[in-house]
Structure 1
Amino acid sequence: MSKFIFKCFFLICFLFVGVLIGMQHANQGIVDMKGHEKESFTSPVGMKQDEDGNVEATFLGNEVESQTLSEKKEKLEEMKAFNAFSSIGKALAELIEGITGKLVEFFASLI
């Protein structure tokens, strides 16, 4: 029994050392991919608020322009985008709604 426990303990220690070596190797690979050995990795998304209260956002190093929802809505209304699938879906939904309404009325009249 003691031989078994000793073998298990030795195997666990050996595997733990292997995990530590693998973590070190992975860290070195990440540093090699990045191209420099800067210790702190930058966040992909950043938000700052200046003293005027304006919020500036960056996404992957690119500055994101902020627009209000009303401006976006006006822009979409100006585009007057037509989506064929949307109109087909609406027509199909109205047709199915009408048919099911008529069926419900018919079965209700029988009862």
Structure 2
Amino acid sequence: MGKFIWKASLLILLLFFGVILGMQYANQNMKKMQGYDDPKMYEAFTVEKEGDGEINATMLGQDISMADIEEKKEEMEEWKAYNVLSSAGKGISNACTGIFQGLADLISNE
């Protein structure tokens, strides 16, 4: 029994290191496939604060200003978007709550 546990643990350890090495190898090759090393490329979203207090944001290589963000926020408020999944989830949760409260009342009244 001891030999089996020893062999199984060694096999698991070997497979674990194989997975780790494979992930590292895949990561290096993905970077090579891009064709060049650009440190900015790995950052999807960056925020920089300048000396005068202005904030510059970049998302996927496009500059975003605070005015753009506020305009989009106002648009979203104007749309008053209706989320179907959210309202469906609220309905289901209200129905489940009602069912279980009814069952609890039925059990407690008996």
**TM-score, structure 1 length as denominator?**
0.50
Hey, what does 2:42 align to over in structure 1?
A: 42
Q: Identity rate of aligned residues, in percent?
A: 34
1:6 equivalent in structure 2: 6
CA distance in structure 2 between the partners assigned to 1:4 and 1:45 by the alignment = 50
Q: What letter matches 2:27 in structure 1?
A: N
* Correspondence 1:56 to 2:56: yes
Amino acid at match of 1:3: K
User: Which residue is 1:32 aligned to?
Assistant: 32
Q: Secondary structure of the residue that 2:63 maps to in structure 1?
A: strand
Is there any run of 5+ residues in structure 2 with no aligned partner, and where?
83-110
Q: Per-residue deviation at 1:37? A: 4.5
Amino acid paired to 1:12: I
Partner deviation per Cα, 1:68-108 (whole Å, 9 max, x = no partner) = 74xx39x96xxxx9x9xx9xxxxxxxxxxxxxxxxxxxxxx
Q: How many angstroms apart in 2 are the aligned matches of 1:22 and 1:54? A: 44
Closer/same/farther in 2, CA of residues 5 and 40 from structure 1, 3 Å limit: farther
Q: Larger helix proportion, structure 1 or 2?
A: 2
Of the two, which has the highest radius of gyration? 1
1:70-109 equivalence runs, <5 A: 72=71
Aligned length: 76
Going from structure 1 to structure 2, the CA distance change for 1:9 and 1:22 (only over 3 Å counts) comes to same
TM-score, length-normalised on structure 2?
0.50
| Unmatched tracts of structure 1, length 5 or more | 87-111
Give 3-state SS (helix, strand or coil) of 1:53's partner: coil
